[in-house]
Amino acid sequence: MSERPAVAIIMGSQSDWETMKNAADTLDALDIDYEARIVSAHRTPDRMYDFAKGARDEGFKVIIAGAGGAAHLPGMVAALTPLPVFGVPVQSKTMSGMDSLYSIVQMPAGIPVGTLAIGRAGAINAALLAAAVLALSDEDLADRLDAYRADHTASVAEYPIDEAR
Ligand code: RP5
């Protein structure tokens, strides 16, 4: 039997996938298995409860949860599982994601959600944080993460160029 993925990427809606796919692409680049699921706190609360309660037994080690608007998914899931939860505020149309950010970031003491930036940057960094957590007990992954970071550094030119030319 093949091992279950270590990372779960969950999101409140299909419409969040455009953002959360950036997390998936980053995990792909690091050769980390993941499973992506739509789990809505308010539209599929039973699915959310079952997922969160069973996540550790399913073999997941880290959960990346993206949601927008009244984004209670990451906090609700964090309340139901001991696994680390990284929350990604999805950029909403009405408030540009500030509603999502505030909904996720201000958890009362006792139930943490590691909150990332709004949108694409947050999704990518959530994946990199998940990788860093998993790399603590996986030397091969630690090497891949070092290489990824070295590539990132190498991609930055020392001098700016005039792109209009
Ligand atoms: C939230 O409502 C989702 O996380 C999504 O960001 C937002 C809008 O959802 P849709 O109306 O596009 O399904 O639950």
Structural domains for the chain: 7-154 (3.40.50.1970)
- Whole-number Cα distances in Å, 10 to 30, 85, 152: 19, 10, 26
What pTM, to 2 d.p., does this model score? Answer: 0.96
Give 99's Cβ-side CA count (13 Å radius).
12
User: Strand 62-68 vs strand 34-38: parallel, antiparallel, or unpaired?
Assistant: unpaired
Q: Whose CA is nearest to atom 5 of ligand 1?
A: 68
> Which SS3 state, helix, strand or coil, does residue 137 take?
coil
Q: Whose CA is nearest to atom 7 of ligand 1?
A: 68
**Is there a contact between 130 and 32 (Cβ–Cβ < 8 Å)?**
yes
Does the ipTM exceed 0.90? Answer: yes
Pocket of ligand 1 (CB under 6 A): 12-13, 15-16, 40, 67-69, 90
Instruction: Tell me if 137 is assigned to a ligand binding site.
Output: no
Per-residue confidence in pLDDT tens, the chain, 165 aa: 457 899 999 999 999 999 999 999 999 999 999 999 999 999 999 999 999 999 999 999 999 999 999 999 999 999 999 999 999 999 999 999 999 999 999 999 999 999 999 999 999 999 999 999 999 999 999 999 999 999 999 999 999 999 876
Encoded tokens for 38: 């739509």
